[in-house]
Structure 1
Amino acid sequence: MDLAKNNRNIIPIRLLHLFIQTGETAMHDFFENYFEKIFQNFLAYRHQMEEQFKLYMDLGMDLSEKTKTMIDQINPFQSKKSEE
């Protein structure tokens, strides 16, 4: 309801046009048989991707520090003066 008050589209216009074209029976069948499961799968997938993205970000920051330290240690172009 708040979305409608703020003039935001709850359902995309293209989807509304499709519902109008197919008729009430097809729309009812879709919502009754498929929509709930599709929406549950979407929410689970979105949550999983958000968690995985957080892990990648944490891993990336950790690897950046470790990689810099390792590269500094094994740099073949490092001069002898800096090793002493």
Structure 2
Amino acid sequence: MKLNDYLETGCSKELCEEIAKACGFNTLKKAREELIPEFVKDFFKERTPSFYRKGDVGDWKNHFTVAMNEQFDAEYKRRMSNYKTSFKYTLW
């Protein structure tokens, strides 16, 4: 509804709710996985492709081994070695 108000689309509350439901994480995940060909599913653990992730901080620890993390860190360091931008984070 906030986006509807901001964009001044004039959509009804019901339509906004339908759009929100259609764009929800679980709906999009299910729709995407239904479109994946069977032979592609064979490449995934338990034949369940996970193109959509929850985005939980630190969840990578449930999927990476120590060796995989070390390999990732080394590759990240190599690829980012020429990246000069720095970020400063502050607490409000």
TM-score range, shorter chain: under 0.3
Question: Normalising by structure 1, what TM-score?
Answer: 0.27
Higher helix content, 1 or 2:
1
Question: What is the TM-score normalised by the length of structure 2?
Answer: 0.26
Bigger relative CO (Cα 8 Å, ≥ 6 apart)? 2
